[in-house]
Amino acid sequence: MFNKRTKIKALLSHGVVDQEVVVMGWVRTFRNNQFIALNDGSTSQNIQVVVPLGSVDEALLKRITTGASLRIEGKLVASLGKGQSVEVLANLIEILGDSDAEKFPLQPKKHSLEFLREIAHLRFRTQTFGAVFRIRHALAFAVHQFFNERGFVYLHTPIITASDAEGAGEMFRVTTLPMDGSAPRNEDGSIDYKEDFFGKSTNLTVSGQLEGELGAMAFSEIYTFGPTFRAENSNTTRHLAEFWMIEPEMAFCDLEDNMNLAEAFVKHLIGYAMEHCADDLAWLDTRLAEEEKQKPQQERQEMGLVEKLKFVLDNDFERITYTDAINILLQSPAYKKKKFQYEVAWGIDLQSEHERYLVEKHFKKPVIVTNYPAKIKAFYMRMDDGCEPGKETVAAMDILAPGIGEIVGGSQREERLERLEARMEEFGIPVEEMSWYLDTRRFGTVPHAGFGLGFERMVQFVTGMGNIRDVIPFARTPKNCEF
RNA sequence: UCCCGAAUAGCUCAGCUGGUUAGAGCAUCUGACUGUUAAUCAGAGGGUCGCUGGUUCAAGUCCAGCUUCGGGAGCCA
């Protein structure tokens, strides 16, 4: 019975007028005791179901409320009213599931994002979140398409890990030991993880990169795309405790190749969304424009959402070295007028305000900053040759996007064993425990590079959503693990 | 974690320098209308003013602490 149904997207795009159809979906609004706006999630568009006057008894009519699920048999006809080209003239209406109008929290009106966040289990049924999560899906698909077309192998790196060497942040502990104080102890009073499930201390992964490198040393190119966990007490619009990250890793690849791939990748994702999610982007574009109107003129974005995406697609990303970036900042009017809260000097880590200045004020487009000081970057990044003593840099690159900040972080990896070991020692990383990683450098090491792209930040960028909690179905953040 | 701000009806918000019975729009319910586009019109119901304590003759309003939420910063993707 159900497989006879036509999805609303199909009906609206290529439905044949005067044909008998079956549609199913949820009621968005019911106007005039006669017009049902029905949505099944296949598109942001609703289909209008017309209930012929007097054809349905009062009791059933009263059950057609916002949120109720319906099965409609009827005929697709050209619409008499404005606002839609076709509609379904119903001859049978079946209520699949009632929705108590007094209790269902979604109303046919504009709700705040904050309120919808509290009812995240229902917010998919709104226009905005429908659009956001259809786009999220499209982007996920485009990730696989991009790498598949280029011969990358999708490698499933582990989620539970024993290495805490990446140093990408605080980790969530994974254990089956009792938490009531009765866990087995060593002689010095510390917990004896030899008795734990894995026989050692384990955590949730903060990055699949190190394992990814192992794959790249066999398949040439791999990528990972999976959940990542950081136990940082971050309370911002761009951090989650559980998020999804894409990490390609390429053998026979240097920093420039890495940048070229990252830029092509970001553009592919944007282009895919623009091609396949035009409806949803148009809705979000309008929503954002209305939001912008509420803001004072100075704080408004110069470009609309679609305009911004097109602009990013059509222009090369600016590529500058960290040293150039510092010089630009030092010569900026903002610096001279002492507008920066944090100091600017070679060797500092770029602060949010500095990145924003470069991206939003100076270049007004995505910027790739390269060759950061070695001291502020991770141990595995390749030391640049021929540096002035005291000004050693590494082959790192960050892509900074307007409004989001760092969307990609990557580097060419240190492939020279002695150099890598020296760096690990410097960073206090136990070389013996990482022997498996160092084997890549012992046996057929090659120049290689890779990067990590925060998937939610990419979804934020494409959808224009300001808060990262609104682009993941169920956000996990400090003090919040609902649903 | 730090800084700033907020918390009043189901939702969005108003409530002035403390003053007697806390309002509006939307939603809901009842009725009317019927080619509507967040339908419209008339009426009704709906409140522990986040929590705890304090100041005062009197607190939604002032003060302190707590909780939650939002914005910014740090950590990063």
Please report the sign of the dihedral spanned by the C-alpha atoms of residue A433, residue A156, residue A244, residue A354: positive
Q: Which nucleotide is nearest to A168 (CA to C1')?
A: B76
C-beta separation of A401 from A369 below 8 A: no
Distance A121 CA to B59 C1' (A): 39
The H or E element that residue A263 is part of is helix A255-276
Distance A109 CA to B25 C1' (A): 12
What is the distance between the alpha carbons of residues A474 and A58, in angstroms, rounded to a whole number? 39
- Quickly tell me which residue has 């494409």 as its tokens: A462
Distance A115 CA to B59 C1' (A): 29
Strands (E), A162-275: 173-174, 202-204, 221-229, 242-251
pLDDT tens digits, A100-129: 888 899 988 889 999 999 999 999 999 999
The Cα-based distances of A119 to A64, A95, A291, A370, A456 in angstroms read 22, 24, 21, 42, 20
Put simply, whether the predicted model's pTM sits higher than 0.90 gets the answer yes
pLDDT tens digits, A65-86: 999 999 999 999 999 888 889 9
Neighbours of A331 (CB within 10 A): 9
pLDDT tens digits, A353-372: 999 999 988 998 999 999 99
Distance A97 CA to B31 C1' (A): 27
Q: Which nucleotide is nearest to A29 (CA to C1')?
A: B38
- Local structure of residue A3 (DSSP, 8 states): G
Q: Nucleotides on strand B with an atom closer than 7 A to protein CB?
A: 1-2, 10-13, 26-30, 33-39, 68-77
Distance A112 CA to B22 C1' (A): 24
Q: Which nucleotide is nearest to A103 (CA to C1')?
A: B10
Averaged pLDDT of chain A: 91
Distance A115 CA to B14 C1' (A): 20
Distance A105 CA to B9 C1' (A): 14
What is the distance between the alpha carbons of residues A450 and A380, in angstroms, rounded to a whole number? 11
pLDDT tens digits, A252-275: 999 999 999 999 999 999 999 999
Confidence of residue A427 (pLDDT cuts 50, 70, 90): confident
DSSP state letters, A363-395: I-S-EEEE--BGGGS-TTBPBPTTPPTT--BB-
Question: Any residues with CB less than 8 A from the CB of A44 and at least 6 apart, and which?
Answer: A127, A130, A131, A134, A279, A280, A283
Q: Which nucleotide is nearest to A469 (CA to C1')?
A: B70
C-beta separation of A74 from A47 below 8 A: no
Confidence of residue A405 (pLDDT cuts 50, 70, 90): confident
Residue ranges of domains in chain A, CATH in brackets: 8-106 (2.40.50.140), 127-151+270-470 (3.30.930.10)
The single-letter code of the amino acid at A482 is E
Q: Which nucleotide is nearest to A79 (CA to C1')?
A: B35
Beta partners for A37?
Answer: A29, A48
- Give residue A168's pLDDT: 62
Indicate the SS3 state at residue A81: coil
